[in-house]
């Protein structure tokens, strides 16, 4: 298993990618919000990838909401 770490322009971690057997299985996205009124200054979202290499499910671990992607239209459904 390999781990890839991406940094944003502020040199903060923006994404962890977990690779196994030559493909990405899941990623952890780290979103930063510098707005002083933001409810969450940092949000983390886990993206799970299927065999086709596309993520159809995301879980926001900060808000506990999740969403799925429509496999026909490729559009994300609302967070629930």
Annotated domain spans of the chain: 2-68
Closest among 77, 23, 30 to 54, alpha carbons compared? 23
Task: Kindly report, residue by residue over 19-47, the tens digit of the pLDDT.
Answer: 998 999 999 999 999 999 999 999 999 99
Euclidean distance between CA atoms 79 and 63, whole angstroms? 10
pLDDT in tens, 43-69: 999 999 999 999 999 999 999 999 999
Phi-psi sector, 16: left (phi>0), alpha (psi -120 to 50), beta? beta
Q: Under 8 Å CB-to-CB from 30, ≥6 apart: which residues? A: 12, 13, 14, 15, 16, 42, 43, 44
């Amino acid at each position: 298993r390999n781990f890839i770490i991406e940094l944003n322009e502020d040199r903060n971690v923006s994404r962890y990618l977990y690779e196994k057997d030559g493909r990405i299985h899941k990623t952890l996205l780290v979103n930063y919000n510098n707005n002083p009124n933001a409810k969450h200054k940092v949000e983390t979202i886990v993206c799970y990838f299927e065999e086709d290499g596309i993520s159809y499910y995301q879980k926001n671990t900060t808000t506990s909401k999740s969403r799925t992607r429509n496999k026909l239209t490729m559009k994300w459904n609302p967070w629930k």
